[in-house]
Amino acid sequence: MFVVHTEITNLKARVEELTKSEADFKERYEKAKSHREHVEILHDNYAEVQATIEPLINNLDWLQNYGIAHIANSILNSIELNRAVAALTVASRAAEEGLRKAEENYDNLSLFVMDQVSEALKHDVYVARLKAIFELPETVE
């Protein structure tokens, strides 16, 4: 009877151990189930982000490898720009000629008043001569 009692005690201990294991297993199962749900949500979010990013990556790739250079070349080679540059070149050449003539005229410019000032400065009484040139005539009222 002692053996039966020991065996029953051992069986009760084993039942308690299995009950604890079952509870631990259920807890781990619920955590795994929760993690799986999170993983599924993350997977869905990743797919959504990937669907959003993919066109952006394709657009960036196109711009880097083709678009920017093509757009810039199209602008630089446009007929309108070529016409505008040609018109500016012609105008610049005409302006250069006009500027050259203006500088030549300026370099050869002779002003009567400057001639008088230069002549006045050659004398010791230059102030009196300058006054004579620049003084306003007296007005009679």
**pLDDT surpassing 90 at residue 75:** no
Percentages of the chain per state (helix, strand, coil), in multiples of 5: 85, 0, 15
Q: What is the DSSP letter of 104?
A: H
**pLDDT surpassing 90 at residue 54:** yes
Under DSSP, is residue 94 helix (H, G, I), strand (E, B) or coil?
helix
Residue 8: predicted pLDDT:
83
CA distance 70 to 34: 52
Give Rg (Cα) of the chain.
Answer: 51
- Is the pTM higher than 0.85? The answer reads no
Cβ(122)–Cβ(106) below 8 Å: no
Distances in whole angstroms, Cα of residue 140 to Cα of each of 49, 97, 137: 96, 51, 10
The model's pLDDT over 29-51, given as tens digits with 9 standing for 90+, comes to 888 888 888 888 889 999 999 99
Distances in whole angstroms, Cα of residue 105 to Cα of each of 99, 100, 108, 109, 117: 10, 9, 5, 6, 21
The model's pLDDT over 80-137, given as tens digits with 9 standing for 90+, comes to 888 888 988 998 888 888 888 888 887 887 778 888 888 989 988 888 888 888 877 6
CA distance 78 to 71: 10
Residues in the chain: 141
- Token pair 């500088």 is at which residue? 103
More confident residue, 2 or 115: 115
Handedness of CA 37, 41, 44, 46 (dihedral sign): negative
